[in-house]
Structure 1
Amino acid sequence: MTSTRPDLVVREATPDDAETVLRLVKEIAAHQAQSDSVTVTAEQWAGHLGRPDITVLLAEIDRQPVGYVSSVRRLHLWSGSDIVALDDLYVRPGHRDAGVGRLLMTELARRSGGLTITWGVQPDNDAAIRFYRRLGAAVRAKVMCAWSRAAQPVQ
């Protein structure tokens, strides 16, 4: 897909893009002070990028990545239908506020076939919340919990 900016293109990542996707994942983790949480490898990403339930879209300018959005299609048990669970939306510094994030989100919606898209955002990330509201997303407060394997009781 090409935006109104002829130099900005969004395309689906393939297994050949595994190193690029991993680099971008590490960048967003560092931005969120969560670098220690990234344990995935490029080899694992290559496998993930071949799965039909995982979508990663890369935004590129002159074939150089400037951002990405990643999502997983999954069953929503309450509705009995699928939803798209957005995992990350990331735009590199220097390319923010230039329409990259909006284009990535719009393209994800277009490729999602009308399915509801859900995601989380840190409650103190005011810029992201403003951005999502401008897209027309409903912003609702909800606490997300994670139960790591190390914290689970031994059976």
Structure 2
Amino acid sequence: MIRTATPDDVPVLHAMIRELAAYEKEPEQARATEEQLREALFGERPAVFAHVAEADGEPVGFALWFLNFSTWRGVHGIYLEDLYVRPHARGGGHGRALLTELARICVARGYERLEWAVLNWNAPSIGFYESLGARPQDEWTTYRLTDGALAALGGTGAGSED
């Protein structure tokens, strides 16, 4: 069963995010708190959304996503930030069901893209995504500013004036 996350899901979502970080070999990078997650998902102006996969009433996976926008197509899309299914529940169709729900939301709302990133070494996930018809966007390289580099750039006054 796939359902929209509720505030009561925050502790289990937080735990699964930490499990995902450990799987991706960067547990120290999962610094978000339950309070931050609760505010992002259920605060005054939520900008992040989540769905939970359940088996026998137990949360076994989640998809956390937000809207993006294509300037070329002129419409929103969904960017899937995280998709995770607990190891004991893998192979049970939960990942597919979560992606199916996001695709259904895209179609119902007129969104034209469902996008996400996957680590190059994660062969099981790559195989799964390709089995659904997803194709890698090999012509693009993702860049990221964080921590010191973000602070240095943001503190220089570079960019547009406010």
> Would you say 1:65 and 2:35 are equivalent positions?
no
Note the 1:38-57 alignment, pairs <5 A: 38-50=30-42, 51-57=45-51
Alpha-carbon shift at residue 139 of structure 1 (Å): 1.8
> Would you say 1:37 and 2:34 are equivalent positions?
no
Q: Which runs of 4+ in 1 moved over 6 A?
A: none
Q: Alignment length, in residue pairs?
A: 147
Select 2:18's aligned residue among 21, 26, 31: 26
Query: Residues of 1 paired with 2:61 and 2:33: CA distance?
Result: 19
> Would you say 1:79 and 2:73 are equivalent positions?
yes
Query: Residues of 1 paired with 2:6 and 2:36: CA distance?
Result: 13
Give me the TM-score of the superposition, normalised by structure 1.
0.86
Can you list the C-alpha shifts for 1:49-98, whole angstroms capped at 9, x where unaligned? 22554221101112211111111012223333211110011111111112
Can you list the C-alpha shifts for 1:24-66, whole angstroms capped at 9, x where unaligned? 1001001101111112111111112225542211011122111
Give me the TM-score of the superposition, normalised by structure 2.
0.83
Give me the identity figure in percent.
35
> Would you say 1:118 and 2:115 are equivalent positions?
yes
Specify every segment of 5 or more residues in structure 2 that has no aligned partner in the other structure, as ranges.
157-162
The structure with more helix, counted as a fraction of residues: 2
In structure 2, do the counterparts of structure 1 residues 139 and 110 end up closer, same or farther at CA, with 3 Å as the change threshold?
same
Alpha-carbon RMSD: 1.6
Query: Residues of 2 paired with 1:150 and 1:53: CA distance?
Result: 25
Query: Residues of 1 paired with 2:30 and 2:147: CA distance?
Result: 15
